[in-house]
Amino acid sequence: ALNVLLIIVDDLRPSLGCYGDKLIRSPNMDQLASRSLLFQNAFAQQAVCAPSRVSLLTGRRPDTTRLYDFNSYWRAHSGNFSTIPQYFKENGYVTMSVGKVFHPGVSSNHSDDSPYSWSIPPYHPSSEKYENTKTCRGPDGELHANLLCPVDVADVPEGTLPDRQSTEQAVRLLGKMKTSASPFFLAVGYHKPHIPFRYPKEFQKLYPLENITLAPDPQVPAGLPPVAYNPWMDIRQREDVQALNLSVPYGPIPADFQRKIRQSYFACVSYLDTQVGHLLSALDDLQLASSTIVVLTSDHGWALGEHGEWAKYSNFDVTTRVPLVFYVPGRTAPLPAAGDKLFPYLDPFDSISESVEPGRQAGDLVELLSLFPTLAGLAGLPVPPRCPIPSFHVELCREGRNLLKHFQVRDSEEDPYIRGNPRELVAYSQYPRPADSPQWNSDKPSLKDIKVMGYSIRTVDYRYTVWVGFNPREFLANFSDVHAGELYFVASDPWQDHNMYNDSQGAALPRPLTP
């Protein structure tokens, strides 16, 4: 049986070299992608941490987990659904969690879903508790709780950062598993680039401010329905942003500060890349690269000023699209010869070597829901059956498509883009709102306050979203009560700035209902 190393990054959009972003220095993730199958169009089912993580780890949509906020545990609230690690554990794997895999707190029963999901107690880095405290040295020499927080690691509490500790722990566990008779499933959840942007300050040097542009569309689009806008309240609470005295809800943030936010996000991505690099290089050194599937993904994206928005909390591509990369030994890359390294550590500060050849890529629209059946199949376990509708009573089933067909070994002459009929494929996302216009709780409404649900479908050609009335007691969306709509065409409007919904009324567009 193949081992599994699942790397889940918090709030990482596909701003990576391997996804075509020329500015970003991500040599280790790019090297992983060069040995992998990379999905160009992968989407999260809800652009906020806990709902997305519970959805991807159970393989069920938010309408099945009934988690749209942070305040319920699916096993108590909707159904006793099996998780990916639980399924591997029940099939003889040693399952281990390091860092932020499940969202901590109520939504994973204050235990990261132990003992169901994990063979040993989950590990959380001790320095995580300082993330939101005053640890950012400002120009005044004092410590602040800022959004932008480049630090001297020697100067922070415990002299380390959470993602460094998680890498060290993951490497220790890999070392222990090397001699184990059982296969392992190791999930590693990295915190950065989640806010605050607290990262070793040397990474700032990779992104001189004069090289940083604004988002291509930094204005709030004229045709954006107010219900679709998220007011990024979490950022406004940071001391450095408070000092800007921004107007609520639309901002805008001064251009020079926008550049600094983008600089810090990109610096966090390069810092994260070094952690992924050390982890993969350890996998190599332990000679586990020929027997371990590696998946790299994220719980959702993050807006960096697009549409005048910041953070997640929306249905746009910038917040729902995620990296999704699978390395499968012998399938996506030849098995390493004895003594050969597949993943030697690459230093992002080295002068740029010739960019790594991309590996195989798939352009199909896929959902994070597909992780469950696809990982099971790649590891050689039986693929769980498709869920009936409804499936609250079924413990083990999947709502996502199995992506195994993409991994069939092919002739090298064949076009690297895998042929299929992309017209048939759809990715669903959704986002709740407490009202038709931006409120203090629009980003993260509690279940009882949800009045409107935005159901969004992304096809090859368009993104179509309807904001409909929602009853949180019955968990019922009323598709005949349409509050607003959005329609963006991918080819002519890749940034989703020109809402064509009102021009399309009467056109035969499909209703976005869960398939």
Annotated catalytic residues are 49, 103
d(CA 361, CA 355) in angstroms, rounded, equals 16
Contacting residues for 5 by C-beta, under 8 A, at least 6 apart: 174, 186, 188, 279, 283, 292, 293, 294, 295
Q: At what angle do helices 371-378 and 49-58 cross, to 10 degrees?
A: 40
Beta bridge partners of 63: none
Torsion, Cα of 344, 350, 355, 358 (10° steps): 30
User: Nearest 5°: phi and psi at 17?
Assistant: -55, -45
As a whole number of angstroms, the distance between CA 302 and CA 322 comes to 9
Q: DSSP code of 97?
A: E
Locus of tokens 């991505």: 269
Q: Which helix (H) or strand (E) holds 460?
A: none
Say how far apart CA 213 and CA 231 lie, in whole Å.
Answer: 22
CA distance linking residue 254 with residue 294, whole number of Å: 40
Q: Which residues pair with 144 in a beta bridge?
A: 136
If DSSP codes are grouped into helix, strand and coil, which group holds residue 321? Answer: strand
Structure tokens at 246: 């921004």
Parallel, antiparallel, or unpaired: how do β-strands 303-304 and 136-137 relate?
A: unpaired
Which H helix or E strand runs over 185?
strand 184-190
Per the listing, tokens 């805008």 go with 252
- Is omega for the bond preceding 249 within 30 degrees of 0, making it cis? yes
Three-state SS string over 451-475 comes to CEEEEEEECCCEEEEEEEEEECCCC
State the CB neighbour count (10 A cutoff) for residue 75: 18
The amino acid occupying position 251 is G
